[in-house]
């Protein structure tokens, strides 16, 4: 019989290595260790999906590891999201901090992964200077 992977929990394994209680915490709050959301981070509701950075986190993971129409430009090029951030939304929030107004998440090294030390908040103008070179296509008329 398997048991929950959370330290000091002796309940029977349910899914993804966690008991029913900790699995539900993972699904609801983004971490099996949280029993309720951090109020200062998500004042609107107790659901992680209403956090201002949730769509940023979700889109980053989908572009690199999932079913996003831009997968070829991210995951298809070998760019990934560090395992810690994929597993724990709240750790991602803690590491990147609050989003400044009119900024989006940007990678410092455009060939590098989404990981601590390689991400920053940038304006659209700043991101336009951090692009990989476009392929030139010549068309004969």
Q: SS3 for 24-90, per residue?
A: HHHHHHCCCCCCCCCCCCCCCCCCHHHCCCHHHHHHHHHHHHCCCCCHHHCHHHCCCECHHHHHCHH
Share of residues in the chain with pLDDT > 90 (%): 28
The pLDDT value recorded for residue 38 is 46
Q: Is residue 103 part of a domain?
A: no
* 27's tokens: 């699904």
pLDDT tens-digit profile of 18-68? Answer: 888 888 877 777 777 666 554 444 444 456 667 889 889 988 998 898 878
Domain assignment of residue 31, given as a range = 11-50
**∠128-64-122 over CA atoms, to 5°?**
30
Q: Residue 105: is its pLDDT beyond 70?
A: yes
63 CB neighbour count, 10 Å cutoff: 21
In the chain, the number of structural domains is: 1
pTM for the model stands at 0.60
Rounded CA-CA distance 67/34 in Å is 28
Q: Is residue 46 part of a domain?
A: yes
């Amino acid at each position: 019989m398997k048991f929950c992977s959370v330290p000091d929990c002796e309940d029977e394994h349910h899914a993804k290595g966690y008991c029913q209680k900790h699995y539900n915490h993972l699904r609801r709050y983004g971490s099996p260790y949280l029993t309720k959301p951090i109020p200062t981070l998500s004042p609107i509701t107790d659901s992680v999906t209403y956090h201002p950075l949730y769509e940023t986190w979700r889109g980053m993971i989908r572009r690199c590891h999932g079913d996003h129409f831009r997968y070829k430009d991210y995951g298809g090029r070998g760019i990934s999201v560090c395992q810690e951030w994929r597993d724990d939304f709240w750790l991602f929030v803690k590491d990147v901090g609050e989003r400044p107004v009119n900024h989006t998440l940007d990678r410092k090294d455009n060939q590098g992964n989404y990981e601590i030390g390689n991400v920053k908040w940038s304006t659209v103008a700043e991101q336009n200077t951090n692009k990989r070179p476009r392929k030139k296509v010549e068309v004969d008329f």
